Structure 1
Amino acid sequence: MASDFSSQFWQSCQEHPCYPNNLLQVTQKAFTWDGFFQIPRVGVEGKQSLFAKAAASTKISRASIGALPVIWTSLGELKQGLIEAQRESPVQYLFVRADHAKRLLCCSLEMFTYLMSFYQVPPAILDLLSTFKHSEISIDRHFTGFFGEYIYSSDQRDSILPISQLGRSGYFLKQCYRLRFLEKAPYQPLSWNTNQVVIHHSFDILNGQTVWISLEGDVSLDERIRSMLAQCRPSQNYAQAFQLTLSTHLMICQWCDESWQSFIEDIEIALCQFKVTVRRAEPESTSASHDRGHGANSTATSLHERYTPPFDNAARTNMDRFPVLFRAHDAHLDSSILLDQLDPRDTYDITDIQKLYKFKDRLTEALLMAKLNSSVLSELEGYYAELHSKAASRFTGNKSDLAFFTEKMGALKNRVQVCQAQIEDLLSIVRDLKAHMDDVAAFKSLQMNKFFAIESRKSAERMEKLSQKATEEASSMNNINIVMLIFLPATFTATFMQSGVFQWKSADTQTHQWLFKKSIFLIFSAICLITMAGCFLLRRGMLYAKRRRRQ
C-alpha cells in the first residue's frame, strides 16, 4: 500500500505543471470544487503573472534546526534539495519572498508548482496568493482566509495516504492562512505600506515531521524564524516538535500585530495637527478678530488650550462644534467688521481636504485588515481547540502548551479588537472633522454674504444721496438756464446797440434819425466771430489730445 502511494506521489510530482489538479488528496479537491476557494480565481494564465520570469530573480531559501541555511535557484537544485532536507531534519522552514506585497514572487512558476506538489499543499493557497502581482494598486485586498484540515483517526482510512519513502504517515494537520500587516516606509511621514504573509503548515501527527512554507514581502519574518531555530536543540521529540509548531504560529501572529499601535499613534498625531488647522479656520467674534493682531503666539496658545486629544472624546457621538457659531452676536453681523478681518489665510484649502480623504482611505483599509486578521486568528484558535477536543489522546504531552496557545491567541484577538475600536474611533473623528469643515465653510460663506449685503446696502444708500444731490443741482441749473435764456438776448441786443454800429440822431447836423456804420459793424463781427472760432477750435483740440492720451 505504501509503495503504491509512493509511486503515485512521485508521479504527482512529475506532473507538477498541472498543479493543483495533480494532488493526491481527493478531499482537498472536493473542498475546493465546493466553492469556498475557487480555483478559477487564479488559473493557469493567472498563476504565470504571480512569479518572476528572470532566472536571476528566482530563489527559494530553506532553514531547519541544526543545519545551515540553503538557497535553491533552479528547479534541479530544488528537487535534489527537498529530498536531502527531508532526510536531514524533520522540521523544515521554506521561504519564498517578494520585494513587496504588490510585486512578483522571487520564484519561478515551475519551482513553485513543484514545491506545492512535493508537500501536497492544498489549492486554497492559490487564492491567498492573488495579490502577489506587479501592481501598485491594491488588487483583491479584501480577500483573506483560513483553510485547515486534519486526519487523525484510522476511521478516515480513505484519506490516509502514507508515503513511506519520505517517512510520511498520512496522519497530518494542514493549515493555509494569510495575515496582513503594516510596514512604515522609511523617510516618509505618514506613509504605511500594506504587506502580507501567506503561511502553509503541515504537521505529521505520528512522527512529528513539520513543514512551514512562508510567502511574504518582508525579510524580517525570515530572520526572526531563523533566530528562533538557532535556539532549538537538534534532537527533538514529538512533544517538542508540536510545541515548536504552536510557538511558530504565535510568533507569526504577534509579528503581524506589532506595527498596528505605531500606525494608530501616527494617525492620531496627524489628526491632532489637522484639528488645529481646522480650529484656526473657525468663525470668530469681532473681539477675537481684533485680538488676532496681538501675534501668532497668543493664537497658538489659545488653540492649544482648546484642543483635546481624540480619545478623550471617544464616548461622544459628535465633536464639539465651534463655540461662536451659534452666538447671538453672529446672528446679526456687526457692520463694523472689515473685509480684512474675514482673513482667507485662516481657512483651509483643497490640499487639506485631500489629506482628510487620505486619512479616511488609510483608516478604512486598516480597519478592514484588522477585521480580517481577527477572523483568521479566531479560526486558527478554533482549529486547535477542535483538534484538542477530538484527538486529545494524541496530544497528552502538550496540554499545557495548548492551554498557553489558547490564552495567547485570546490575548492577541483582544489586542486586534482594541485596534479595531481605536481605528473606528479615528474614523468617526475624521467624519466629524469633515462635517466640521463643511460647517465652517458654510458659516464663513454666510458671513461673507452678510458682509457684502451690508456693504451693498450702504453703497445703495450713498448712491441714493448722490442722486438726490444731482437732482437738486439739476433743478438749480434749470433755473440758471432759464435766466440765461431771458437775459442773454437782451444783453446781446444792448451790447450790439451800444457798439456804435447804429448812430442815432443827437444833433442838428445829422439829417437821418440813425446811421448804420458799416466799418464798426465789420470790426464788431470780426472780433466776435474770431473769438467764437478760437474757442471752438481750442475745445476740439483739447478733446483730440485727450483721445490720443487714452489710446
Structure 2
Amino acid sequence: MFTLALTYHQVMPSFLDFIFPFGQQEYAQDFHFSGLRHENYLNPLDKGLNVPELGRSGREIRLCYNLQSVEKSSGQADLPWLIRQTAIYHSFDVETGRSVWINVKGNKLLKKRIEEASKLSQLGSFKSISRSFAAALTAHMIFCDWAGENWRWYITDLEKGLQEVTRKTLSTPVNRLSSSGSESISIPIIPRTQPTLSVSHQETLPRPPSRPHSSSSQAQSTASERSFTSKIQFSPFQGLRLEMPSSLMASQLPNVMVGPPESQPGEKPKSNELRPGLQDEDNTSQQENFSFTDLQRIQYIEEKAHETLLVLKQNVTVLKELREHYRSTTEAADLPREIKSDCRTDIARFENRILGVERDLGMQQLRIESMLRLLADRKNLVSLYGILQYRGLQASESFTQEALRSIYNLDAMATSMHEIAEKTKQETVSMRIITLVTLFFLPGISIATFMSTGIIQFTTDNDGRQKRVFQLRGLKLYLAICLPVMIATFVAWYIVYWWVRRKDRSSPYAANDGKCSDKA
C-alpha cells in the first residue's frame, strides 16, 4: 500500500533514503542519517508529468528531508528522554496550488499539530496559489519548531546526571602518602629451632605517569619499578615473620606501623595489640564510594552527549539548506509573479523563524560542547589516573592492614600452641611415672585381693600341722559376680564410646573434615 501511494503521487525516489531508518529494530541502524533533497520543475520547457485530471500541471517544487528532536519517554529508566526522527516529503504545484504532504513518524504528535493548526486557520486559506504557498511555509515551520524544542531540558538532565556522578570527585578527601624509614617490616617470633614454612610473593609495582624530573628522581623512579619479594615464614612453635622491602612500605602503605612492641624477658607478648599507627578501621570509609559502575554511567552520558551534538549539527544543516532552498526558489525567474509579490512577507517570516530555531540549536550546541569538555575532565579524574587509582591504592593498604592483623593473630596462636605443647610435655612425663608405679604394684595388689577373698585358706589342725583349704563354691561365686560386672563395664564403655562418636559425626565440622579427606 505504501509503495502504491508513493507511485500514485510520483514521490521522488530519494525520499526512500529517509524511510529506511524506520522500522522495528533491536538496535538502531542508520538512525543518524540526515539531509535534504529537492527537485524543481519550474521551467515550462522542463516540467514534469502533466495530468490535468489530477490537478498536476508538471511545474512543481519537490523536496524531502528529515529532522530529529527529543521527546519525553516513560520507558527510559535512566534518562526519561528519547530522540525521535521524522521524514517529510512535500510537493507544490505552482500553477494549480496543489500540495502533497507525506510525514513519517513513530507517533501522531505532528499530525495532531497540523490538525490543530488547520482548525485555528494558522495555515491560512487555499483560495489562491499564493495563499497555498504561504500555508506550505507555515507547515514547514511547524516541523522546524518541533526539531528545536525540548533540547534545553534534555541537556539539563544530562548535566544533572553528570554532576550527580562526578561532583563527589571534587570533594573527596585525599590523604598525603607518608614516607617512613628505610627499615624492613619484621614481626618478632619466639626463637626456636624448628622447620618453617616459607611463602614468597613477587610483584612489580606500576610506574606512575611520567613527567619531567631530574636525574636523581629518574634513578628513584627506576628503582621503584623493580620487582620486590615479600616473604612470610611460619612455624607452629616459632610464630610468624614477614619481611618486605622498606621502599614498598614507604610509598605504597602509608600510615601503617607494624611490629608489636618488644616484650621484656619473662613478659608474655600481647597477641592482639597493634601499634597506634595501624588504624583499626578502613581509612577509605571516610570517602565516597567509586566503582566501575560510575565509569559506565559516565560513559553512557558521554555517548548521549555526543549523539546530541551530532543531531543538533544535522538539524542546523538541514534547516539552513531548507531556508536557502526557499530563498533560491523565490528568487528564480520561472516562479510565478503572484507568489513573489503576495508571499514576500510570508517568506521573510519563514526565514526569520528558521533563523531563530538555528540560533537556539546553536546555543544548545555550545552547551553540549561545554558539557563534553567538563565530562572529559571529570572522567579523567575518576578514571585510571584519578580517583579509582587512588581507591585501588587505599584498597591495597586496607588489605595489607588486614593481613598484618591476621599475622599478629597467627603469631599469638603459635605462641599459645607452644605453651600448650610445653604443658603437655610435662603432663606426659607425670603420666609415665604414674603408669610405671601402677604397673609395678598392680600384680601384687591383684594377687593380694584374690588371696583375701577366702577361696584359698591356710589353717592349722589339732595336731599343729598347717593345712590348705580350697573352696570351689567360693571361686564360683567370685567368678559369677566378677565376670558379669566386668562385661557390664565393657558394654557401658562401648555404649558411651558409640554415642560420642555418633555425635561427633553429626557435627558440621566433622562433615567438612570428611569432605576434605574424600577430596584428598
TM-score by length of 1: 0.54
Q: Does 1:372 align with 2:261?
A: no
Distance 1:392 1:124 in 2: 24
Q: Does 1:110 align with 2:64?
A: no
Q: Does 1:490 align with 2:476?
A: no
Distance 1:367 1:484 in 2: 94
Describe the superposition over 1:77-133 as per-residue Cα deviations: whole angstroms up to 9, x where unpaired: xxxxxxxxxxxxxxxxxxxxxxxxxxxxxxx44234313x2xxx2111111111332
Residues 499, 228 of structure 1: CA spacing in aligned structure 2 closer, same or farther, 3 A cutoff?
Answer: closer
SS of residue paired to 2:147: helix
Partner in structure 2 of residue 541 of structure 1: 495
**Which of residues 3, 7, 12 is equivalent to 1:122?**
12
Distance 1:510 1:428 in 2: 127
Describe the superposition over 1:293-331 as per-residue Cα deviations: whole angstroms up to 9, x where unpaired: xxxxxxxxxxxxxx57xxxxxxxxxx5373247665983
Query: Any conservation in 1 of the 2:43–2:334 contact (CA below 8 Å)?
Result: no
Q: Which amino acid aligns with 2:12?
A: P
Q: Which amino acid aligns with 1:337?
A: D
- What is the CA-CA distance between 1:489 and the residue it aligns to? 3.5
Partner in structure 2 of residue 195 of structure 1: 84
Aligned pairs for 1:138-153 within 5 A: 138-151=28-41
Describe the superposition over 1:53-95 as per-residue Cα deviations: whole angstroms up to 9, x where unpaired: xxxxxxxxxxxxxxxxxxxxxxxxxxxxxxxxxxxxxxxxxxx
SS of residue paired to 2:86: strand
**Which of residues 406, 409, 413 is equivalent to 1:456?**
406
Query: Any conservation in 1 of the 2:67–2:315 contact (CA below 8 Å)?
Result: yes
- What is the CA-CA distance between 1:258 and the residue it aligns to? 1.1
SS of residue paired to 2:429: helix
Distance 1:466 1:199 in 2: 86
Distance 1:244 1:423 in 2: 39
Distance 1:148 1:325 in 2: 64
- What is the CA-CA distance between 1:472 and the residue it aligns to? 0.5
Distance 1:473 1:510 in 2: 62
Distance 2:254 2:433 in 1: 56
Q: Does 1:331 align with 2:254?
A: yes
Query: Any conservation in 2 of the 1:367–1:424 contact (CA below 8 Å)?
Result: no
Query: Any conservation in 1 of the 2:69–2:147 contact (CA below 8 Å)?
Result: yes
Distance 2:68 2:330 in 1: 27
**Structure 1, unaligned runs of 5 or more:** 1-50, 52-107, 280-306, 309-318
Query: Any conservation in 1 of the 2:56–2:93 contact (CA below 8 Å)?
Result: yes
Q: Does 1:163 align with 2:106?
A: no
Query: Any conservation in 1 of the 2:57–2:95 contact (CA below 8 Å)?
Result: yes
**Which of residues 137, 146, 154 is equivalent to 1:255?**
146
Aligned pairs for 1:307-386 within 5 A: 307=167, 319-320=169-170, 322-324=172-174, 331-332=254-255, 337=280, 363=305, 365-384=307-326
Pick 1 or 2: higher relative contact order, CA cutoff 8 A, min separation 6: 2
Residues 123, 427 of structure 1: CA spacing in aligned structure 2 closer, same or farther, 3 A cutoff?
Answer: farther
Q: Which amino acid aligns with 1:411?
A: R
Describe the superposition over 1:250-279 as per-residue Cα deviations: whole angstroms up to 9, x where unpaired: 331121221222323344445555x3xxx9
Residues 423, 123 of structure 1: CA spacing in aligned structure 2 closer, same or farther, 3 A cutoff?
Answer: farther
Q: Which amino acid aligns with 2:316?
A: S
Distance 2:475 2:431 in 1: 29
Structure with a larger share of its residues in helix: 1
Distance 2:414 2:490 in 1: 36
Residues 125, 164 of structure 1: CA spacing in aligned structure 2 closer, same or farther, 3 A cutoff?
Answer: closer
Aligned pairs for 1:382-461 within 5 A: 382-384=324-326, 397=344, 400-401=348-349, 404=352, 407-418=355-366, 420-421=368-369, 424=372, 428=376, 435=383, 442=392, 446=396, 449-450=399-400, 452-461=402-411
Residues 350, 366 of structure 1: CA spacing in aligned structure 2 closer, same or farther, 3 A cutoff?
Answer: same
- What is the CA-CA distance between 1:135 and the residue it aligns to? 4.5
SS of residue paired to 1:132: coil
SS of residue paired to 1:322: coil
- What is the CA-CA distance between 1:373 and the residue it aligns to? 2.5
Distance 1:327 1:381 in 2: 62
SS of residue paired to 2:68: strand
- What is the CA-CA distance between 1:177 and the residue it aligns to? 0.5
Distance 1:364 1:453 in 2: 46
Distance 1:426 1:208 in 2: 52
- What is the CA-CA distance between 1:400 and the residue it aligns to? 4.1
- What is the CA-CA distance between 1:146 and the residue it aligns to? 1.6
Aligned pairs for 1:43-54 within 5 A: none
Distance 1:240 1:330 in 2: 81
Query: Any conservation in 2 of the 1:128–1:143 contact (CA below 8 Å)?
Result: yes
Distance 1:138 1:403 in 2: 33
Query: Any conservation in 1 of the 2:63–2:91 contact (CA below 8 Å)?
Result: yes
Distance 1:527 1:433 in 2: 92
SS of residue paired to 2:112: helix
Distance 1:175 1:375 in 2: 15
- What is the CA-CA distance between 1:440 and the residue it aligns to? 8.4
Query: Any conservation in 2 of the 1:144–1:179 contact (CA below 8 Å)?
Result: yes
Partner in structure 2 of residue 103 of structure 1: none
Residues 267, 164 of structure 1: CA spacing in aligned structure 2 closer, same or farther, 3 A cutoff?
Answer: same
- What is the CA-CA distance between 1:468 and the residue it aligns to? 0.5
Describe the superposition over 1:446-491 as per-residue Cα deviations: whole angstroms up to 9, x where unpaired: 4663354234313321321232123202321332144235433434
Residues 222, 489 of structure 1: CA spacing in aligned structure 2 closer, same or farther, 3 A cutoff?
Answer: closer
Query: Any conservation in 1 of the 2:42–2:59 contact (CA below 8 Å)?
Result: yes
Partner in structure 1 of residue 71 of structure 2: 183
TM-score by length of 2: 0.57
Residues 327, 371 of structure 1: CA spacing in aligned structure 2 closer, same or farther, 3 A cutoff?
Answer: farther
Describe the superposition over 1:144-175 as per-residue Cα deviations: whole angstroms up to 9, x where unpaired: 32212435668xx4x43473836766554332
Query: Any conservation in 2 of the 1:260–1:419 contact (CA below 8 Å)?
Result: no
Q: Which amino acid aligns with 2:437?
A: F
Query: Any conservation in 1 of the 2:291–2:388 contact (CA below 8 Å)?
Result: no
Partner in structure 2 of residue 298 of structure 1: none
Distance 1:441 1:407 in 2: 50
Equivalenced residues, count: 391
